[in-house]
Structure 1
Amino acid sequence: MLNTPPVRISAIAKQEIIDTLTSNKIPEIYGLRVGIKGGGCSAQFLLGFDLPTENDQIFVIDSIKVIIDKRHLMYVIGTEVDFEETEEGAGFTVIK
Structure 2
Amino acid sequence: MRFLKFGIKVVTARDVVISIVFFGLGLVSSWWTSAYFYEKSLNDSKASAEEAERVNQLILRGIESIGTIQYSRDNSGKIVSVKIELGGNASGNVNATGTLTDAP
TM bin, normalised by shorter chain, reads under 0.3
TM-score (norm. length: structure 2): 0.21
More strand per residue: 1 or 2? Answer: 1
Q: Max radius of gyration: which structure?
A: 2
Q: Work out which structure has the larger RCO, using CA pairs closer than 8 Å and 6 or more positions apart in sequence.
A: 1
Higher helix share: 2
